[in-house]
Amino acid sequence: MEPPLTLLINQLSPPSLIPTYIPSSQPISLTDPSPLPSPPREFHFSPTPNYPTPYGNVSLGSTLDLDISLENTGSQRNDVLGVRMMVECQGGSGRYRLGEVIHSNDSISTEGTEGTEPKEEVEEKVDKLSVLKYGERVGLQIDNEIKDLGLNVLIVSVAWETLEGRKTFQRFLKFNVIPPLSIKTRIQTPTNPNTLLSPTKREQVYLEILIQNVSGESMILSKVLLEPVQGLLSHSIQDENEGVMLLPEDIRQFLFVLFPSPSPEEGGERSTFPPSYPGGTILPLGRLDVTWLSGEYHLKGRLQTSTLNRRVPIPTTPAPAPPPKGFGGVLPARTLSSQSNATPGSPLATPNKDRLAGTLLAPSPIKGTIQKEEPDQWEYDLTLVENQDDVREYEVENRFSMGFKLGVRSTRYIHESERTTRKPSISDERKEDAGEDEDDVPLSRISSRVSTTTDVPPPPRIAIQYLTPLPPQVTAAAAAAAGPGGLQISILSPSRTNTPTPAPNDKRPFSPLSGPSRPMTPSSITSQLRQAQTQGLNSVANSPRSETRFQNATPVSFSNTTQQILQEEGENAEEVFPPSPYITTTRKSDGTEGIVNLGISLQILPTATLRKVLENTGQSYLLDTEGEPKKKYKWEVAFDFQLNFIAFHEGLFNLGGLRVLILEDEVASASEGEGRIDGRVGREWISLGDISIV
Confidence class for position 610, pLDDT limits 50, 70, 90 = very high
Q: Identify the residue with better confidence: 595 or 519.
A: 595
Q: How far apart are the first and last CA of the chain?
A: 94
17 burial type by CB count under 10 A (0-12 exposed, 13-18 middle, 19+ buried):
buried
Residue 518 CB partners (closer than 8 Å, separation 6+): none
CB 59 within 8 A of CB 128: no
Residue 232 has pLDDT above 80, yes or no: yes
Confidence class for position 167, pLDDT limits 50, 70, 90 = very high
> What amino acid occupies position 109?
S
Q: What is the pLDDT of residue 294?
A: 92
Q: Which residues of 255-268 are buried (b: 16+ CB within 10 A; e: fewer)?
A: ebbbebeeeeeeee
Residue 236 CB partners (closer than 8 Å, separation 6+): 226, 254, 255, 256
Confidence class for position 575, pLDDT limits 50, 70, 90 = low
CB 418 within 8 A of CB 651: no
**Domain extent listing, the chain:** 5-178, 181-311, 375-419+455-468+593-694
Q: Identify the residue with better confidence: 157 or 575.
A: 157
What kind of architecture, by CATH, is found in domain 5-178? Sandwich (2.60)
Confidence class for position 391, pLDDT limits 50, 70, 90 = confident
Cα–Cα distance for residue pair 567/585, rounded to 1 Å: 16
Cα–Cα distance for residue pair 95/131, rounded to 1 Å: 30
Q: What is the pLDDT of residue 75?
A: 83
Nearest in space to 509 (alpha carbons), one of 469, 551, 548: 548
CB 572 within 8 A of CB 500: no
Q: Residue by residue, what is the 3-state secondary structure of 626-686?
A: HCCCCCCEEEEEEEEEEEEEEECCCEEEECCEEEEEEEEEEEEECCCCEEEEEEEEEEEEC
Count of H-run helices and E-run strands, the chain: 10, 33
Q: Which of 97-111, 456-470, 492-506, 567-581 has the lowest mean pLDDT?
A: 492-506
- Over its C-alpha atoms, the chain yields an Rg (Å, rounded) of 40
> Of 51-55, 382-386, 390-394, 401-405, which has the strongest mean pLDDT?
401-405
Confidence class for position 239, pLDDT limits 50, 70, 90 = confident
Q: What is the pLDDT of residue 27?
A: 87
CB 44 within 8 A of CB 20: no
> What is the CATH code for 375-419+455-468+593-694?
2.60.40.10
Q: What is the pLDDT of residue 316?
A: 76
Cα–Cα distance for residue pair 286/562, rounded to 1 Å: 36
CB 426 within 8 A of CB 655: no
Q: Which of 97-106, 374-383, 557-566, 572-581 has the lowest mean pLDDT?
A: 557-566
Q: pTM of the predicted model, to two decimals?
A: 0.69
- pLDDT tens across 261-305, in order? 887 666 568 899 999 888 889 999 999 999 999 998 999 999 999
CA 47 to chain CA mean position, Å: 55
Cα–Cα distance for residue pair 525/674, rounded to 1 Å: 11
45, 50, 54, 56 alpha-carbon torsion, rounded to 10°:
50
Average pLDDT, the chain: 74
- pLDDT tens across 353-376, in order? 444 444 444 444 444 444 455 668
657 burial type by CB count under 10 A (0-12 exposed, 13-18 middle, 19+ buried):
buried
Question: Measured between alpha carbons, how far is residue 446 from residues 158, 415, 588 in Å?
Answer: 86, 20, 64
Phi-psi map region of 542: left, alpha, beta (phi>0 left; psi -120 to 50 alpha): alpha
CB 598 within 8 A of CB 645: yes
Strands 299-304 and 282-294: antiparallel
Share of the chain above pLDDT 90, in %: 37
Cα–Cα distance for residue pair 636/408, rounded to 1 Å: 6
Q: What is the pLDDT of residue 449?
A: 44
DSSP secondary structure string, 159-207?
EEEETTEEEEEEEEEEEEEE-SEEEEEEEE---SHHHHT-TTTTT-EEE
- pLDDT tens across 458-489, in order? 889 999 999 987 765 555 555 555 554 444 43
509 burial type by CB count under 10 A (0-12 exposed, 13-18 middle, 19+ buried):
buried
Q: Return the H-helix or E-strand segment holding 339.
A: helix 336-339
CB 514 within 8 A of CB 673: no
Q: What is the pLDDT of residue 41?
A: 87
Confidence class for position 612, pLDDT limits 50, 70, 90 = very high
Phi-psi map region of 448: left, alpha, beta (phi>0 left; psi -120 to 50 alpha): alpha
Question: Measured between alpha carbons, how far is residue 24 from residues 217, 276, 302, 572 in Å?
Answer: 5, 51, 20, 83
Cα–Cα distance for residue pair 35/11, rounded to 1 Å: 12
Cα–Cα distance for residue pair 688/23, rounded to 1 Å: 57
Average pLDDT, integer, range 10-31: 88
- pLDDT tens across 404-458, in order? 999 999 998 887 554 444 444 445 555 555 555 545 555 444 444 443 335 688 8
Strand, helix or coil at 259?
strand
Residue 38 has pLDDT above 60, yes or no: yes
Q: Phi and psi for 610 in degrees, rounded to 5?
A: -70, 150
Strands 582-585 and 461-469: parallel
> Of 16-30, 76-90, 365-379, which has the strongest mean pLDDT?
76-90
Q: Where are the beta strands (DSSP E) in 470-560?
A: none
Q: Please tell me if the domain spanning 181-311 has the same topology as the one spanning 375-419+455-468+593-694.
A: yes
Strand, helix or coil at 245?
strand
Q: Phi and psi for 187 in degrees, rounded to 5?
A: -115, 135
CB 634 within 8 A of CB 615: yes
Strand, helix or coil at 414?
strand
CB 45 within 8 A of CB 69: no
Q: Identify the residue with better confidence: 307 or 493.
A: 307
Q: What is the DSSP letter of 588?
A: G
What kind of architecture, by CATH, is found in domain 181-311? Sandwich (2.60)
Q: What is the pLDDT of residue 442?
A: 53
Q: Return the H-helix or E-strand segment holding 473.
A: helix 472-482
Strand, helix or coil at 286?
strand
Q: What is the pLDDT of residue 53?
A: 86
Q: What is the pLDDT of residue 422?
A: 46
Q: Identify the residue with better confidence: 646 or 570.
A: 646
